[in-house]
C-alpha cells in the first residue's frame, strides 16, 4: 500500500487540523493517483490515512483519518449519519425540503457534496478516487433515508445511481423552485443563499429591484412574492432565464412585474441609465486561485462601483463574493475602495454569509467562501 511521509512542516499542518496537504508538507510519496495511502510522520510512525492526489496537482493528499486503523464502510456511514442528524435538527427543515446534507471538509467528509431536493439527492466527488471509497456506503445510506433518486453530477455528465433523472421541484417558504441538475450551476440551485433571499424580502415592498447574475431567479421570485413593484433579472444564460420564467408560472406570480434581460452584467451596467431602489449583486467566482486574486479584486471593485452608480440614494444593495481566495478582509476592503472610487457614501447594515447547512470550520478557511454585505447608499 502506498504512503506519504510528512516533513516537520507537514506534521504541524496535520495536527493543526487542516486536511489539505500540499507538496511543501511532504518529504516523500509513493502511491497511485486517487489511492488511499498511509500517512507517516518523519520517523515513519503511522498517524493516519489520506487520499493521494498525484504529482499533477499542487495538492499532494487530503487527510481522511487521524487513526491508525484504515477507515472502513462503517466509519463512512457513521460520518454520514452525523451529517444527516444535524440537518434534521435545523429550523430550515420546517419550511424547506432542499438543503445541503454534506459539506465536504466542514463535515469531516473531505471532497464530498450531497444536496437534498425533495426526494432526490445529488452527489459530487471533488477528490480523485473518492468515489471508490464512498459510492457504496452513501448509496445504501441514502436509500435507507428514503431518497428515491440519486444522481452523480460530474463535470460534463450526470449518472443515475438509482431512481430516475429529473429536475426536482422543491419548496422554500411559500415558493416552489426547480433544480436544474443536468445543466445548471453547482448541483442545480444555490442553496447557500437561502437566508439572504429571505432577508431580501424585508426590503423590497413597492420597490424597483435589479437582480444581477440572476441565474434561475431565486432572489427575483422572493422579491416579487414580498411585493416588489418591479424586478429586472439580468443573466447571460437564456436557459437560466427560461427556467426563471417557468418558475414565475409555477408560483402564479404576475409576469407584468418582471423583466428578463439576457446580457452580460458589465455591459448592461455600463449602458444602463435607470436607477433602482434595491440591487442584488451575486456573481460567479471571479477566481479560484491565489495567483489571480489581484485580477479578481479589480473585477469586484469595478462591478460594485458600477452597481452603486445605478443605486438610488437611500437604496439598498446586497453584494457577494463566492471566491474562496477572496477573504472577508479583502472583500471588505474592495467594497471600501469601490465606494471611494465612485465617490459614494455607504452604510454597512449587515455582513452576510452562507446558510447554516454550509457550516464554517476554523481549521479549514476555504469553508468560509460566501462573503456578502447588506448596504445602504447615503
Complete domains list, the chain, with CATH? 3-65 (2.30.130.10), 73-162 (3.30.750.80), 190-377 (3.40.50.150)
- Which residues lie below 8 Å from residue 101, measured CB to CB, with a gap of 6+? 83, 84, 87, 114, 115, 116, 121, 357
State how far the alpha carbon of 27 is from the alpha carbons of 1, 42, 62, in Å: 17, 8, 15
C-alpha cell at 325: 481566495
Under the banding of pLDDT at 50, 70 and 90, the label for residue 1 is confident
Per-position DSSP letters for 202-224, written without gaps between them: GG-TT-EEEEET-TT-HHHHHHH
Residue 193 has pLDDT above 90, yes or no: yes
147-182 residue pLDDT tens:
999 999 998 899 999 999 999 999 999 999 999 999
pTM for the whole structure: 0.95
pLDDT averaged over every residue in the chain: 96
Residue 58 has pLDDT above 90, yes or no: no
Ranges 56-70, 265-279, 348-362: which has the least confidence: 56-70
Please give the Cα distance from 269 to 372 (Å, whole number). 20
Please give the Cα distance from 51 to 54 (Å, whole number). 9
Please give the Cα distance from 154 to 220 (Å, whole number). 28
Share of the chain above pLDDT 70, in %: 100
C-alpha cell at 318: 446586497
Ranges 105-114, 123-132, 285-294: which has the least confidence: 285-294
Residue 290 has pLDDT above 90, yes or no: no
Residue 57 has pLDDT above 90, yes or no: no
Q: What is the pLDDT of residue 28?
A: 96
CA neighbor of 164 nearest in space, from 207, 202, 127, 119: 119
CA neighbor of 343 nearest in space, from 377, 298, 376, 316: 377
Stretch 31-48: mean pLDDT: 97
Q: What is the pLDDT of residue 56?
A: 79
Stretch 311-319: mean pLDDT: 98
Residue 348 has pLDDT above 90, yes or no: yes
Under the banding of pLDDT at 50, 70 and 90, the label for residue 209 is very high
Share of the chain above pLDDT 90, in %: 96
Name the helix (H) or strand (E) containing 14. Answer: helix 8-16
Please give the Cα distance from 75 to 72 (Å, whole number). 5
Under DSSP, is residue 364 helix (H, G, I), strand (E, B) or coil? coil
Residue 222 has pLDDT above 90, yes or no: yes
- Which residues lie below 8 Å from residue 252, measured CB to CB, with a gap of 6+? none
- Which residues lie below 8 Å from residue 45, measured CB to CB, with a gap of 6+? none
Amino acid at each position: 500500500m502506498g504512503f506519504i511521509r510528512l516533513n516537520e512542516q507537514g506534521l504541524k499542518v496535520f495536527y493543526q487540523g487542516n486536511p489539505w496537504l500540499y507538496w511543501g508538507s511532504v518529504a516523500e510519496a509513493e502511491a497511485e493517483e486517487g489511492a488511499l495511502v498511509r500517512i507517516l510522520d518523519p520517523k515513519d510512525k503511522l498517524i493516519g490515512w489520506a487520499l493521494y492526489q498525484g504529482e499533477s496537482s499542487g495538492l499532494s493528499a487530503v487527510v481522511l483519518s487521524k487513526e491508525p486503523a484504515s477507515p472502513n464502510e462503517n466509519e463512512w456511514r457513521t460520518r454520514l449519519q452525523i451529517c444527516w442528524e444535524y440537518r434534521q435538527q435545523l429550523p430550515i427543515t420546517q419550511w424547506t425540503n432542499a438543503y445541503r446534507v454534506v459539506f465536504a471538509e466542514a463535515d469531516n467528509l473531505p471532497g464530498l457534496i450531497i444536496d437534498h431536493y425533495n426526494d432526490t439527492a445529488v452527489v459530487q466527488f471533488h477528490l480523485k478516487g473518492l468515489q471508490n471509497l464512498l459510492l457504496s456506503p452513501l448509496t445504501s445510506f441514502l436509500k435507507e433515508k428514503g431518497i428515491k433518486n440519486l444522481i452523480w453530477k460530474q463535470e460534463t455528465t450526470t449518472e443515475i445511481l438509482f431512481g430516475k433523472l429529473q429536475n426536482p421541484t422543491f419548496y422554500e417558504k411559500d415558493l416552489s423552485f426547480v433544480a436544474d441538475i443536468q445543466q445548471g450551476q453547482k448541483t442545480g440551485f444555490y442553496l447557500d443563499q437561502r437566508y439572504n433571499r429571505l432577508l431580501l424580502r424585508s426590503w423590497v415592498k413597492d420597490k424597483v429591484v435589479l437582480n444581477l447574475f440572476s441565474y434561475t431567479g431565486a432572489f427575483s421570485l422572493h422579491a416579487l412574492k414580498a411585493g416588489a413593484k418591479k424586478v429586472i433579472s439580468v443573466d447571460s444564460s437564456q436557459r437560466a432565464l427560461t427556467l426563471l420564467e417557468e418558475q414565475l408560472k409555477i408560483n402564479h406570480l404576475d409576469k407584468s412585474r418582471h423583466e428578463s434581460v439576457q446580457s452580460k452584467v458589465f455591459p448592461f451596467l455600463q449602458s444602463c441609465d435607470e436607477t433602482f431602489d434595491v440591487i442584488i449583486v451575486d456573481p460567479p467566482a471571479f477566481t479560484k486561485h491565489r495567483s489571480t486574486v489581484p485580477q479578481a479584486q479589480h473585477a469586484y471593485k469595478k462591478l460594485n462601483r458600477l452597481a452603486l452608480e445605478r443605486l438610488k440614494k437611500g437604496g439598498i444593495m446586497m453584494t457577494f463574493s463566492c471566491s474562496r481566495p477572496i477573504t472577508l478582509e479583502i472583500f471588505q476592503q474592495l467594497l471600501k475602495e469601490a465606494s471611494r472610487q465612485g465617490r459614494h457614501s455607504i452604510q454597512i447594515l449587515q455582513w452576510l454569509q452562507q446558510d447554516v447547512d454550509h457550516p464554517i470550520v476554523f481549521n479549514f478557511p476555504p469553508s468560509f467562501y460566501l462573503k456578502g454585505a447588506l448596504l445602504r447608499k447615503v
